[in-house]
Amino acid sequence: MPAMPSSSVTPHRRPHRVLMVATLLCLTLQAPAHSAEQGNFTAGEIALLPDFCQDRLNYPVYSFSHPKWAYWGARMGETFKHVHHYCWALVSLRRASMTPNKEKRAHLVTTALNDLEYVINNASADFRLKPEVYARIGDAALQLENFSKAFDAYDNARQIKPGYPPAYTGWAEVLVKAGQKDAARELIEEGLRHAPDAPELRNFYRRLGGDPSKVTPYPSPAAASSATAADATASAPSGSASDAGRSR
């Protein structure tokens, strides 16, 4: 019987190494999309991200004691430890917008969507970026033609932060493309009632043939509170002053 080749003989190992690499590649392609692009970012890509993303990604992901942790943690709360998924999503969406390959683009958008949903699923109730994350979910879902998910995401963003422009314009674009121009105008008008000075909403409303200056905004919370107090004063019993005088 011929002797088995030694494991140190490189030529005999090459076919097995090629097979191993091919197998790993297949496993990578079959892995959940949210893990496909993690950590594989260039300095240029990070530089295009918001400040909190730059600070989050320029340190090891699980280094909870890095110098900026306390700064951003005070502003974002405990959810800051999960925010790198949002940053990963932004990079994936940017890459998707630049690739001409349909399958690669869909993969990148799916990757981003998984990361965005991870943030929502792990966010505290008061996480300040929730409306923005929901709007990004809506944008990503539209690219994948998941209109139900997009509708729900934009609606969630509006519920949390009425007047947040992307939560209105994102779905209004869908309505316009579907030939529902009146519904789109109504949606943008609702946004203008909450945020009458928002340039995105004003421009979109003009595009639909509307005049944003004619939209009556909702009263501010302070004005509404003052009006409620004035109504309460006006409805107070008129005899209270005379009763006070008789008591002297």
> How many Cα atoms are found within 13 Å in the side-chain-facing hemisphere of 37?
29
Residue-wise pLDDT tens digits, 207-239? 999 999 999 999 987 655 554 545 555 555 555
Q: What is the pLDDT of residue 185?
A: 98
Cβ atoms 130, 160 nearer than 8 A: yes
Tell me how many helices (H) and strands (E) the chain has: 13, 0
In the block, which residue shows the tokens 């989050």?
Answer: 56
Nearest-angstrom CA–CA distance, 80 and 88: 14
Judge residue 122's burial from the number of C-beta atoms within 10 Å of its C-beta, 0-12 exposed, 13-18 middle, 19 or more buried: middle
pTM: 0.74
Look at residues 200, 155, 206 and name the one whose alpha carbon lies nearest to residue 185: 206
Q: What are the residue ranges in the chain where pLDDT is below 50?
A: 1-37, 227, 229, 240-248
Residue-wise pLDDT tens digits, 188-208? 999 999 999 999 999 999 999
Q: What is the pLDDT of residue 177?
A: 96
Q: What is the pLDDT of residue 224?
A: 54
Q: What is the pLDDT of residue 57?
A: 83
Q: What is the pLDDT of residue 6?
A: 40
Enumerate the domain spans of the chain: 33-129
Q: What is the pLDDT of residue 202?
A: 98
